């Protein structure tokens, strides 16, 4: 509280917008001030005892505004990014049909779902096969829609082969951890862990690229904040939603995106895209071969 006889001194005279802007700077630093309109101009005044600090804060803010902000280089987009998304969609649809039709007389859901403790029994393939299974058409449609969208964006940044092998690896890692830490008897299925891994990769890569820029810290971490908001909005729900899997997938994706954020896209050649895409397909096929054999 200011004393009644506190002496105010003028530190700025100008237009209304400028004075109000600098008044917000002083308010953020918990400095008292007053704004006065006089003879067609606006005055910003502060207590005499705080005048030097007010000048320093305003000068610091003005220098920060004048500093040239860095700009992110335009990404070199890969072509045919949709190829990986089409294959992703085809795999989910084929497995959904096989499960519904009980191909081979097998209950595909019980053979490939994610089961707590299964990794300790050597059933590693469940970390892969569970990503291909869904409980109902609505569950499948949601993961098809969001997975194709997020996967295509990743494919545009890193190429379809590298992107989908990375998404698969992050999701499998997340599922493996979930099998180790989830409560006994818990089972889950769905490609949503891979969807959130893709989202995490996008957030992690953008976060690393923004860190060297000369801008406020919340601008630099804004990709992570945006990704976390989407995770909260889309990845949480009722008791049937695998929140742990979504969180683990997002975190694994952030780690992968951080690594890729420092690698130039020109190093990812067409041959590498083909090799990594084939590797992703082989991992899925091999996992299902083990699942159906050990049903």
Q: Indicate whether 124 and 258 sit together in one domain.
A: yes
Euclidean distance between CA atoms 53 and 173, whole angstroms: 52
At 62, which CATH number? 3.30.70.1530
In the predicted structure, residue 125 carries a pLDDT above the cut 50: yes
Report if residue 258 sits inside a domain: yes
Report if residue 157 sits inside a domain: yes
Euclidean distance between CA atoms 162 and 160, whole angstroms: 6
pTM: 0.74
What average pLDDT does this structure show over 41-57?
Answer: 88
Q: Indicate whether 195 and 262 sit together in one domain.
A: yes
Report if residue 139 sits inside a domain: yes
pLDDT at 1: 42
In the predicted structure, residue 153 carries a pLDDT above the cut 80: yes
Where among 34, 66, 98 does a domain terminate? 66
Buried b (16+ CB within 10 A) or exposed e, 247-263: bbbbbbbbbbbbebbee
In the predicted structure, residue 2 carries a pLDDT above the cut 50: no
Mean pLDDT of the chain: 86
Helices (H), the chain: 16-28, 51-66, 81-101, 108-112, 126-129, 137-158, 160-181, 192-210, 217-220, 222-235, 243-260, 270-293
Q: Indicate whether 22 and 93 sit together in one domain.
A: no
Where among 39, 66, 93 does a domain terminate? 66
Report if residue 161 sits inside a domain: yes
At 163, which CATH number? 1.20.1540.10
In the predicted structure, residue 98 carries a pLDDT above the cut 70: yes
Euclidean distance between CA atoms 23 and 178, whole angstroms: 51
Least confident of 78-82, 128-132, 209-213: 209-213
What average pLDDT does this structure show over 220-240?
Answer: 79
Q: Indicate whether 229 and 279 sit together in one domain.
A: yes
Q: What is the domain range of residue 41?
A: 8-66
Q: Indicate whether 62 and 132 sit together in one domain.
A: no
Domain count, the chain: 2
Torsion angle of alpha carbons 243, 231, 178, 256, nearest 10°? Answer: 180
What pLDDT band is residue 278 in, cutting at 50, 70 and 90? Answer: very high
Q: Indicate whether 100 and 227 sit together in one domain.
A: yes
Q: Indicate whether 182 and 85 sit together in one domain.
A: yes
| pLDDT digits 0-9 by tens, 176-221 | 999 999 988 889 999 999 999 999 999 998 888 877 676 666 677 8
Report if residue 26 sits inside a domain: yes
Percent of the chain's residues with pLDDT above 90: 47
Euclidean distance between CA atoms 292 and 295, whole angstroms: 5
| pLDDT digits 0-9 by tens, 100-120 | 998 888 899 999 999 999 999
Q: Indicate whether 110 and 191 sit together in one domain.
A: yes
């Amino acid at each position: 509280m200011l004393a009644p006889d506190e002496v105010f001194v003028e530190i700025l005279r100008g237009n209304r917008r400028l004075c109000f802007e600098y008044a917000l700077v002083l308010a953020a630093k918990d400095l008292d001030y007053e704004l006065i309109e006089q003879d067609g101009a606006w005055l910003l005044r502060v207590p005499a005892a705080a005048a030097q600090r007010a000048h320093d804060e305003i000068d610091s803010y003005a220098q920060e505004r004048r500093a040239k902000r860095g700009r992110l280089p335009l990404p070199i987009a890969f072509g045919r990014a949709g190829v990986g998304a089409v294959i992703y969609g085809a795999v989910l649809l084929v497995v959904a049909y096989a499960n519904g039709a009980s191909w081979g007389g097998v209950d595909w859901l019980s053979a490939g779902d994610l089961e707590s403790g299964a990794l300790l029994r050597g059933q590693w393939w469940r970390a892969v096969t569970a990503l291909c299974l869904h409980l109902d058409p609505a569950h499948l449609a949601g993961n098809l829609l969001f997975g194709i969208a997020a996967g295509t964006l990743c494919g545009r940044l890193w190429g379809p082969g590298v992107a989908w092998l990375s998404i698969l690896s992050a999701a499998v890692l997340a599922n493996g951890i979930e099998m180790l830490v989830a409560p006994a008897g818990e089972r889950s299925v769905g490609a949503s862990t891979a969807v959130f891994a893709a989202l995490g990769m996008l957030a992690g890569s953008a976060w690393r690229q923004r860190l060297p820029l000369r801008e406020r810290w919340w601008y630099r971490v804004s990709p992570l904040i945006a990704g976390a908001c989407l995770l909260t909005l889309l990845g949480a729900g009722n008791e049937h939603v695998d929140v742990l899997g979504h969180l683990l997938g997002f975190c694994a994706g952030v780690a992968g995106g951080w690594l890729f954020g420092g690698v130039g896209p020109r190093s990812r050649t067409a041959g590498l895209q083909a090799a990594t895409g084939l590797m992703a397909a082989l991992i899925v096929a091999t996992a299902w071969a083990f699942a159906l054999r050990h049903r």
